[in-house]
Chain A
């Protein structure tokens, strides 16, 4: 058994290894308004969304290309009236189907239909551990109560559940309660993900940036909980970038393991790729997914290691982290091909740390995500 052994180690033109996973942003519509939403600042409107037939075609193209896992995401995927037939279409081509949802919009009848359509797994987002804090972050009164109801419906049916908790300065001190809630809900897995400052979160750095002390404490809490809850709850922890020495391999390496499709069919190497200059992204299903994956210049731009500059170019870690996140490099240095400024070998690391520490001491009010009809 070798985990991620299917992931390639380096770029290999002309035929890159196929992707393992696809994230389908079915819609940007969402009843919530989380200030860290990873959707782009410019949201796609309902009228521009792909229809059922087009998504069905994309799922078939994905399976043919080698995608094994499909993540149905948004916005809120339950905003799509055709979610049930979409799940059925994905299962028909033997994809593993994961639904990423806030739970808002779920009813018992819809859940029964989703289960009958073959839904494999549900990932429920958690905005906070009580109604006051959760509804404040989600910007939606009553959201927490409805989410807890959804969790009970899932548990009653035995549908495998992962709880996805986005952590930031306002809730990181309640990590123990978050873990306890995941156990209480009967979740099998918990993702403790420190907010990534892309999308709407980039407007909320000063409101949400965790402090170093918080991050260090969180790491210790996770370590203790993992040992205590072995075989009960699996915990994945994504710490704050700038409290590490080296960056994470963004998306497992650009164009290597996964791809994102936006509501209008635009195919991206990662969800923030549209913030990078000079890249033109193609649309599925009109342009087949396989052709985009293998041939499109945008997917080749930062695939592998050929595009790297110093210090990545000669670094022994370059096939481990692939130079980190392109979008972060762009945001912090203005150069999308620069070393991720999180890396201690980047000349921008000190500035990044200083800025994060300044933001962590900030007091800004939350800027909520906008709605889109």
Chain B
């Protein structure tokens, strides 16, 4: 399934984001996966709550980072689509 603007993405159950205090980074923990999150990934996931649509997420991030929405949309789409394809997130 590919992520459309009206979809409301969310992390699946069994997936958690946490601060890794030992390494001083943010990580996403999923079944058999540990992904290190950069600040952009963190910001995207902070907006990804299953309530907001992908379009809302992009708008919020574009405002927050004062960046062109098209670029934010491309980055966020790639990132979230990868998580969806790997069954870490879903879009409804």
Residues of chain A touching chain B, judged by Cβ–Cβ distance below 8 Å, are 1-6, 18, 20-21, 64-66, 68-69, 94, 96, 98, 120-121, 123, 158-160, 162, 188-189, 191, 230-234, 236
Contact = CB atoms under 8 A, between A and B. Distances in A.
A9 to B, nearest CB: 14
Interface string B1-42: 100000000001110101010110101110111111110010
A158 B34 contact: no
B87 A1 contact: no
Given A18-B23, A66-B23, A233-B87, A2 B32 contact: no
A69 B85 CA distance: 22
Given A160-B12, A188-B12, A230 B85 contact: yes
Nearest to B20: A68
Top 9 closest A-B pairs, CB basis? A160-B14, A66-B22, A96-B29, A188-B87, A121-B31, A234-B87, A5-B36, A121-B14, A231-B1
A158 B12 CA distance: 10
Interface residues of B, number: 28
A189 B32 contact: yes
A233 B37 CA distance: 23
Contacts of A160: 12-14, 31
A79 B14 CA distance: 24
A283 B79 CA distance: 42
Q: Is the interface of A mostly helix, strand, loop or mixed?
A: loop
B57 interface: no
Contacts of A123: 31
Contacts, number: 77
Contacts of A230: 85
B34 to A, nearest CB: 5
Contacts of A236: 32
Contacts of B29: 68-69, 96, 120
B64 interface: no
B23 A1 contact: no
12 contacts: A1-B38, A2-B36, A18-B22, A65-B22, A68-B27, A120-B16, A121-B31, A123-B31, A188-B31, A233-B87, A234-B85, A234-B86
Q: Is the interface of B mostly helix, strand, loop or mixed?
A: mixed
Nearest to B29: A96
A94 B22 CA distance: 12
Contacts of A2: 35-36, 38
Interface of B: 1, 12-14, 16, 18, 20, 22-23, 25, 27-29, 31-38, 41, 79, 82, 84-87
Contacts of A4: 34
A65 B21 CA distance: 10
Contacts of A69: 29, 32, 34
Contacts of A68: 20, 27, 29, 34
Query: Of residues B14, B23, B41, which shows the largest number of chain A Cβ atoms within 10 Å of its Cβ?
Result: B14
Given A66-B23, A69-B29, A69-B34, A96 B79 contact: no
B17 to A, nearest CB: 11
Contacts of B84: 231
Contact of B33 (A3, A64, A191): A3
Given A66-B20, A66-B22, A234-B86, A189 B34 contact: no
A69 B1 CA distance: 29
A98 B33 CA distance: 11
Contacts of A234: 85-87
Given A18-B22, A120-B16, A160-B13, A6 B34 contact: yes
B91 to A, nearest CB: 9
Contacts of A6: 23, 25, 27, 34, 36
B18 A94 contact: yes
